[in-house]
């Protein structure tokens, strides 16, 4: 039997089988490769078309880096440092669908000593209802206490002082402003009254000692700004470059451009009103019980109407900032609400300060030089052009195009329209 098996095995055409298998294998490999390549091309085509349709044609949710950026600062910002703020470090150049605007793209220094926001009543950036002006108003809230505009404080100019956001104590001019003043002096811009300095020209008196002083101020400003990397790098370069050299002149020009970008909420300090006894007013005095009464009334009213505590009334303790005051869903009658809020806000003005009460060259409510603003910065703050336009927008009034824009339009010719260029522009809706 074994011999028969061996004989039958010997009669099998192994060579032809191997040859046929090899030919089949050689034919199969290109087909498999072509099939895989076709599948890859098909998938990439599908992914590209899907991206165009879903990401561009169909409104979609924002990516996580953008979704983490709040539209309004909430209680978490009372303790969030720069590195933890909305994962900004992890999203250097975040992108978002076109419909997803009005997100904060920069860090705002936490202020745990503003009684208005830590009381449980207002958010650190509280202005939300007037969409046309809220960005301008919240820009002020990032560098000054609410009471500057909302407290019934009469002296002219207003008695103001800086307070430290880490300790809550009064302090001197922020290092950022001192550094900016040194940069302006070094580029000789103040003496010429120029908007921009002559490139690569520095004050001869800017020696190594002043360079070291500027570097120290920039490091202090960087620490106050939550460890700003750009300010740290600027300080490091200034420490490494010889004063009087073209490289130092370029650095000072760069510093003149860079420092104003940190003026919104990165001083490490805020301005607050000083009372007649020289004390900082960081909230309405002697109103702790009134605040608790108001928040408790909101909570009870929300439970009474059967909805439970709404998101705007859940925070009844300090350090949890929600903006319940201006919202209509508190469940309180108008009379109850007015009575409770009157006890909470004994110093509140009936109408807040307007832009031009402070931003004007004569009889301004704020002495900008006294609070440490350098000369060119003062000139920019008292220029009424922009602030009058903002007030016009807030009042719903139309406003005309600036002269330089009308001149540009006229230079291109007005044949395409019968509307004169001097006609006020209609307010955008």
Tokens of 128: 């939300």
Return the H-helix or E-strand segment holding 170.
strand 170-171
3-state class of 56 per DSSP? helix
Q: How many angstroms separate the CA atoms of 410 and 274, rounded? A: 51
Give φ, ψ of 331 to 5 degrees: 85, 5
Can you give the pLDDT at residue 417? 44
Helices (H), ranges, 241-319: 246-258, 288-304
Can you give the pLDDT at residue 289? 92
DSSP 307: S
CB neighbour list of residue 274: distance below 8 Å, 6 or more residues apart? 159, 160, 161, 280, 281
CB neighbour list of residue 304: distance below 8 Å, 6 or more residues apart? 331
Burial bucket for residue 117 (CB in 10 Å: 0-12, 13-18, 19+): buried
| Residue among 211, 256, 207 nearest 237 (CA) | 211
- pTM of the predicted model, to two decimals? 0.66
Cβ 109 vs Cβ 69: under 8 Å = no
Distances in whole angstroms, Cα of residue 402 to Cα of each of 382, 391, 406, 407: 18, 15, 6, 9
Q: Specify the length of the chain in residues.
A: 429
3-state class of 144 per DSSP? strand
Place of tokens 């207002």: 122
| Residue among 125, 144, 143 nearest 134 (CA) | 125
| Residue among 130, 60, 416, 122 nearest 294 (CA) | 122
The secondary structure of 386-426 as a DSSP string is HHHHHHHHHTT--BPPPHHHHHHHHHT-STT-SS-TTSPBP
Q: Report CA 378 to chain centroid distance, whole Å.
A: 23
Can you give the pLDDT at residue 326? 42
Q: Return the C-alpha torsion angle 410, 413, 418, 423, nearest 10.
A: -10
| Residue among 345, 415, 301 nearest 115 (CA) | 345
pLDDT mean for each 10 residues of the chain (429 residues): 61 75 82 90 90 70 57 58 54 45 64 87 82 83 92 85 93 95 78 46 79 95 90 93 90 92 89 91 91 88 64 38 45 84 92 88 90 90 79 73 58 45 36
Strand order in the sheet with 269-274: 170-171, 160-164, 269-274, 280-281
For residue 157, whether the previous peptide bond is cis, meaning omega lies within 30 degrees of 0, is: yes
CB neighbour list of residue 40: distance below 8 Å, 6 or more residues apart? none
Cβ 394 vs Cβ 132: under 8 Å = yes
Cβ 123 vs Cβ 323: under 8 Å = yes
CB neighbour list of residue 130: distance below 8 Å, 6 or more residues apart? 137, 394
3-state class of 79 per DSSP? coil
Cβ 271 vs Cβ 365: under 8 Å = no
């Amino acid at each position: 039997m074994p011999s028969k098996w061996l004989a039958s095995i010997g009669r099998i055409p192994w060579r032809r089988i191997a040859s046929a298998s090899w030919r089949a294998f050689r034919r199969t490999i290109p087909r498999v490769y072509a099939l895989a390549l076709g599948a890859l091309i098909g998938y990439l085509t599908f992914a590209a078309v899907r991206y165009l349709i879903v990401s561009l044609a169909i409104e979609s949710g924002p990516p996580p880096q953008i979704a983490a950026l709040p539209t309004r600062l909430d209680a978490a910002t009372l303790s969030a440092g720069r590195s933890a703020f909305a994962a900004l470090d992890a999203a250097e150049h975040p992108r978002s669908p076109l419909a997803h605007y009005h997100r904060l793209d920069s860090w705002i220094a936490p202020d745990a000593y503003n009684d208005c926001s830590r009381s449980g009543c207002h958010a650190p950036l509280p202005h939300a209802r007037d969409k046309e002006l809220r960005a301008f108003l919240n820009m002020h809230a990032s560098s000054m206490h609410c009471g500057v505009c909302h407290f019934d404080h009469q002296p002219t100019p207003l008695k103001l002082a800086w307070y430290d956001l880490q300790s809550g104590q009064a302090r001197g001019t922020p290092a950022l402003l001192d550094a900016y003043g040194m940069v302006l002096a070094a580029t000789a811009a103040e003496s010429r009254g120029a908007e921009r300095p002559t490139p690569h020209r520095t004050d001869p008196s800017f020696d190594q000692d002043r360079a070291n002083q500027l570097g120290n101020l920039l490091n202090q400003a960087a620490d106050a700004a939550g460890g700003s990397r750009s300010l740290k790098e600027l300080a490091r370069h200034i420490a490494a470059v010889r004063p009087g050299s073209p490289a130092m002149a370029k650095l000072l020009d760069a510093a003149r451009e860079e420092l104003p970008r940190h003026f919104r909420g990165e001083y490490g300090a805020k301005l607050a009103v000083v009372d007649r006894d020289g004390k900082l007013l960081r909230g309405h005095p002697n109103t702790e019980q009134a605040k608790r009464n108001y928040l408790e009334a909101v909570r009870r009213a929300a439970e009474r109407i059967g909805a439970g505590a709404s998101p705007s009334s859940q925070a009844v303790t300090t350090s949890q900032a929600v903006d319940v005051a201006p919202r209509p869903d508190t469940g309180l009658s108008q009379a109850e609400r007015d009575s409770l809020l009157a006890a909470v806000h004994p110093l509140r003005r009936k109408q807040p300060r307007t832009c031009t009460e402070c931003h004007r060259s004569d009889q301004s409510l704020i002495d900008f030089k006294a609070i440490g603003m350098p000369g060119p910065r003062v000139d920019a703050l008292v220029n009424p052009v922009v602030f009058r336009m903002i007030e016009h927008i807030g009042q719903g009034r139309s406003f005309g195009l600036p002269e330089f824009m009308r001149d540009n339009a006229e230079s291109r010719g007005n044949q395409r329209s019968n509307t004169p260029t001097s006609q006020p522009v209609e307010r955008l809706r």
